[in-house]
A and B are shown apart, each in its own frame.
Chain A
Amino acid sequence: MSFTKKIDEWMKEVEERPESAATIVRLAVRRLRDLSEQNEELLAENIALENGTRVDEYQKRITHLEYQLDMLKRRFGMDGSKLDNLPIAEEITSTLNLLVYNSLGRIFRVELDADVKEVGTLTGEMITDHEPPRLLAVTSNENLLLLFTSGRVETYLASDIPMMQLGGTWTWEHAALPSEPHAGEVLACVIPFSRLPLSDFFLQVSRRGFTKKGLTSLSESILNNHFIGRGAVHKSDQPLDLTLSRNNDLAALVTYEGKVIAFDVNDLSYTTDERIKLTATDYVVGAFTLPANSYVLCVTQNGKVIHRESKSIDLAKSSASKGQALIPPTRLEQGVRFMGAAAVQESDQIAILDAAGRINIHDVSAMMGSGSVSAEGWTGVAVSMGLIQADGRERRVES
């Protein structure tokens, strides 16, 4: 039906019921306004196309995509010719490694056996610059991003870090130093970032509960400039963690004094904002994305385990939230504090470093079942923990 005929029909309605004229005009005007706005946008687009700014923008996007493709190739360990024969199922060409690093930038790498429970023992100074060593499970072909407290970043391949012997005794002097901290800074965290092309945001979290979101599409400039920013407002604060997240992901923070808070990454601003109000003595010990149907598992300093289903954590909409308390006030008075936390599935494992320097691997299901960490020779004091996801286990070498 032609548009003219439609207009004739609208006019007939007006002839039949003159009072309908107002409604028809109102609806037509509304439509006209919408179309005019759309027209404006299209004209702007047209100008952008004509003067070439859109072309520049697309070229930048192509460069970024090429960079991401390069990252993916490195992750899967393949060159261009192999891409055509890309298998549908991911071929396992890497092994599961555990990294142990301290704030001075020293990193150990150890390849995990299929059934290993005792990873090794650290000797020497345990706490450096008030920070305990941290544990991170990654695949051997992972790209690592090192974030320093000044906001500087460096990249490094996990496979370039010399391997330590499983079950051995290690001293920090023998550890690799892939990037030495500059004066006035220490290593804040190491993150695996091969998943960068599949992520939408960087999420930076500071010790005092400040968060900053950044677009991963800016990664090229971040990596070229070796700088992402501190993500902290106060001088006394410092970056704790950097995670990659996707649109609509939920993230959670767990604090030393037992507070937990979950929030929608989409709700975060691109500036550094306070996400949780902490008391003067409190600070964040765990920051992670929170998948649906997972558990938030927290370990206290004396090895007790508290877990909650992710859906039971209230979503905080405002930045003034003080978080949900996981440690009862009476226990808090007795000095119970969290040492670390992670979002886990029942089939995952946790590597725990104790005060004697021993690193042991524990099944999450057993930890949640017994409510505590138990291992042979357990000193009763946990210093640090790292998550080993179940999907990484198949990458373990046969013992």
Chain B
Amino acid sequence: MSLKVGIDFGTSNSGVAVYDGQHVRVLPVDPKNVQPEVIKTVLYITREYRSYLGHEAAEAYYRDNVNRQRRFVKQWAGEIDYRGADMHYVRDIFVYVDELKPGRLLQYLKTALRKEGYKGTQVFERFYTAGDLAKTYLSLLKRRAEDVLGEPIHAVTLGRPVKFSESPEQDQKAEETLRQAAHEAGFKEVDFELEPIAAALYYEQSISQSQNVVIFDFGGGTLDIAVMRLGDSNTRKVYASGGVDIAGSDFDRTIIEKRMLPHFGYGLVKHHPEILEMIHAIPDWMALPELGTPINRTVLDKAIQAKIAPVRLKALRELIYNDLAFTFYNRVEAGKIALSKESATVINLEDKNIALWEMYTRYQFEADIRHYLNEVEKVLLDTLANSGLEPGQIDAVVKTGGSSNIPLFTEMLTRIFGADKVKESNALSSVVGGLAIKAAM
């Protein structure tokens, strides 16, 4: 029998589900996780090219990297041709490589697919394109799901955002890369469904009569909106769909930029461009791990000796050279999530030379991300206008995805549609559940 599953390959979290015609079963693919049905979209590749995903990846990363030794060696990286009017010479380029680095942790794999100009990354001796990373992750995820089900999986319905990118070419390219990655991961048949529509299919299971529904799928990487007629498979219709590249990872970045950078010297360091460059790279999850070079270390050591913001720069040195980036981003994300329920939280990070403590209130968070609210509201109203429906004609607004729980956006939906219409779907499994339903159709 050919088994087909739905996979939500999310920016922050992923999931696998099957549908037997009556019930959706979200598979416990990450048994070590607090919620085994949700698996973090992180991949850890060791020097021996062994790959781990989810909780195991984070565990292996912490086990191998934190407080480890480093040894930088100069390695030939290539050559550059210099051409002038009457001269031409070739110069060797060397880079410093940490030869004791045991592995690389990779996250935001989905963002890599849609990021324009992102070719891939070097993992020790091998170059991994965005597609290779997605393939590695999907093949491991497939194996996990097969272990749970006890039978091979042949086909998959993958979720995709309404827009991978604003550029149609990039959007098409991202989908094709993901399709190819899924094929290479071992899925013989691969098809796609828009994530908000998948969430709609999941929601449809819980209603008994036809409704006009707005799906507000606000996750880690993108906001996807669909305005649909649901309730009867014969009259099911997508009136309009829309989306924008704003989501949880942007909020994390904003928190870091506005609240965390002063802990690493921002505002105190003025005339040291190399150090400022390092500080400004902190919010960039791809750039931060690359800062750990001997040259940067010398720059920081000298600045600390010269008493230029020594406490903050020691913290920066610790963040870069003790592989604390992953922990740091996780703490920021956890603080953000906590503010969906609490009115205040603490983002802290303690290590040998870091004593970061920041009380962060919902008021501050809302002030920091308010500029995104206008953009999100605009996309929502545009999509609604494209559907030809008025807010009063909408019967239900279904929120899904982690960021949809942020009170600022819930208030916006309540203001536009009315509190009684805003419904919360299972934030982390409605998309994957809908994809499983679509897979079974």
Interface string of A12-26 (1 = CB under 8 A from B): 110011011001100
Is A83 close to B, CB under 8 A?
Answer: no
User: Do A13 and B363 have beta carbons less than 8 Å apart?
Assistant: yes
Specify which chain A residues have a CB less than 8 angstroms from the CB of B262 in the assembled complex: 1
User: Do B363 and A27 have beta carbons less than 8 Å apart?
Assistant: no
Is B172 close to A, CB under 8 A?
Answer: no
Chain A: minimal CB distance from B121 (Å): 31
Is A60 close to B, CB under 8 A?
Answer: no
User: Do B362 and A24 have beta carbons less than 8 Å apart?
Assistant: no
Q: Which of B267, B346, B362 contacts A13 (CB 8 A)?
A: B362
Is B357 close to A, CB under 8 A?
Answer: yes
Chain A residue with Cβ nearest B362: A13
Say yes or no: A20-B361 contact (C-beta < 8 A), given A27-B344, A27-B346. Answer: yes
Is B343 close to A, CB under 8 A?
Answer: yes
Is B342 close to A, CB under 8 A?
Answer: yes
Specify which chain B residues have a CB less than 8 angstroms from the CB of A28 in the assembled complex: 359
Chain B interface mostly helix, strand, loop or mixed? mixed
Interface residues of A in 1-43 (CB under 8 A from B): 1, 6, 9-10, 12-13, 16-17, 19-20, 23-24, 27-28, 31
Chain B: minimal CB distance from A383 (Å): 43
Is B364 close to A, CB under 8 A?
Answer: yes
Chain A residue with Cβ nearest B358: A6
Specify which chain B residues have a CB less than 8 angstroms from the CB of A23 in the assembled complex: 342-344
Q: Which of B267, B343, B364 contacts A17 (CB 8 A)?
A: B343
| Bound-complex Cα distance A9 to B359 (A) | 10
Chain A: minimal CB distance from B35 (Å): 25
Say yes or no: A10-B361 contact (C-beta < 8 A), given A17-B343, A27-B344. Answer: yes
User: Do B362 and A31 have beta carbons less than 8 Å apart?
Assistant: no
User: Do A13 and B344 have beta carbons less than 8 Å apart?
Assistant: yes
Chain B residue with Cβ nearest A24: B344
Specify which chain B residues have a CB less than 8 angstroms from the CB of A6 in the assembled complex: 359
| Bound-complex Cα distance A9 to B361 (A) | 8
Chain A residue with Cβ nearest B359: A27
Chain B residue with Cβ nearest A1: B262
| Bound-complex Cα distance A379 to B361 (A) | 81
Chain A: minimal CB distance from B312 (Å): 14
Specify which chain B residues have a CB less than 8 angstroms from the CB of A13 in the assembled complex: 343-344, 361-364
Specify which chain A residues have a CB less than 8 angstroms from the CB of B345 in the assembled complex: 27
Specify which chain A residues have a CB less than 8 angstroms from the CB of B357 in the assembled complex: 31
Chain B: minimal CB distance from A15 (Å): 9
Interface residues of B in 337-394 (CB under 8 A from A): 342-346, 357, 359, 361-364, 367
Chain A residue with Cβ nearest B267: A1
Chain B residue with Cβ nearest A30: B346
Specify which chain A residues have a CB less than 8 angstroms from the CB of B267 in the assembled complex: 1
User: Do B359 and A17 have beta carbons less than 8 Å apart?
Assistant: no
Say yes or no: A12-B359 contact (C-beta < 8 A), given A17-B343, A23-B344, A24-B344. Answer: no
| Bound-complex Cα distance A263 to B175 (A) | 54
Chain A: minimal CB distance from B353 (Å): 14
| Bound-complex Cα distance A6 to B262 (A) | 12
| Bound-complex Cα distance A27 to B346 (A) | 7
User: Do B344 and A20 have beta carbons less than 8 Å apart?
Assistant: yes
Specify which chain A residues have a CB less than 8 angstroms from the CB of B346 in the assembled complex: 27, 31
Chain B residue with Cβ nearest A28: B359
Chain A: minimal CB distance from B349 (Å): 14
Specify which chain B residues have a CB less than 8 angstroms from the CB of A10 in the assembled complex: 344, 359, 361, 363
Chain A: minimal CB distance from B324 (Å): 20
| Bound-complex Cα distance A169 to B267 (A) | 80
Chain A residue with Cβ nearest B363: A13
Chain A: minimal CB distance from B144 (Å): 25
Chain A: minimal CB distance from B177 (Å): 41
| Bound-complex Cα distance A13 to B361 (A) | 7
| Bound-complex Cα distance A25 to B348 (A) | 17
| Bound-complex Cα distance A10 to B362 (A) | 9
Chain B residue with Cβ nearest A18: B343
User: Do B359 and A20 have beta carbons less than 8 Å apart?
Assistant: no
Specify which chain B residues have a CB less than 8 angstroms from the CB of A19 in the assembled complex: 343
Interface string of B231-271 (1 = CB under 8 A from A): 00000000000000000000000000000001000010000
Chain B residue with Cβ nearest A38: B355
Specify which chain A residues have a CB less than 8 angstroms from the CB of B342 in the assembled complex: 23
| Bound-complex Cα distance A27 to B367 (A) | 21
Interface string of A68-98 (1 = CB under 8 A from B): 0000000000000000000000000000000
Chain A residue with Cβ nearest B355: A38
Chain A: minimal CB distance from B117 (Å): 33
Chain B residue with Cβ nearest A19: B343
| Bound-complex Cα distance A9 to B363 (A) | 7
Chain A: minimal CB distance from B50 (Å): 17
Chain A residue with Cβ nearest B258: A1
Chain B residue with Cβ nearest A17: B343
Chain B: minimal CB distance from A79 (Å): 29
| Bound-complex Cα distance A10 to B343 (A) | 10
Specify which chain B residues have a CB less than 8 angstroms from the CB of A16 in the assembled complex: 363
Chain A: minimal CB distance from B154 (Å): 38
User: Do A31 and B344 have beta carbons less than 8 Å apart?
Assistant: no
Specify which chain A residues have a CB less than 8 angstroms from the CB of B367 in the assembled complex: 9
| Bound-complex Cα distance A292 to B342 (A) | 46
Chain A residue with Cβ nearest B361: A13
| Bound-complex Cα distance A13 to B342 (A) | 12
Chain B residue with Cβ nearest A12: B363
Chain A residue with Cβ nearest B346: A27
Identify the A interface with B (CB < 8 A). 1, 6, 9-10, 12-13, 16-17, 19-20, 23-24, 27-28, 31
Identify the B interface with A (CB < 8 A). 262, 267, 342-346, 357, 359, 361-364, 367
5 closest A-B pairs (Cβ-Cβ)? A20-B343, A13-B361, A13-B363, A23-B344, A24-B344
Q: A13-B363, A17-B343, A24-B343 are in contact. List 8 more A-B contacts (CB 8 A).
A: A1-B267, A10-B359, A10-B363, A13-B343, A16-B363, A27-B344, A27-B345, A27-B359
Task: Name 24 interchain pairs, CB-CB below 8 A, sorted by A.
Answer: A1-B262, A1-B267, A6-B359, A9-B361, A9-B363, A9-B364, A9-B367, A10-B359, A13-B344, A13-B361, A13-B362, A13-B364, A16-B363, A17-B343, A20-B344, A23-B342, A23-B343, A23-B344, A24-B344, A24-B359, A27-B345, A27-B359, A28-B359, A31-B346
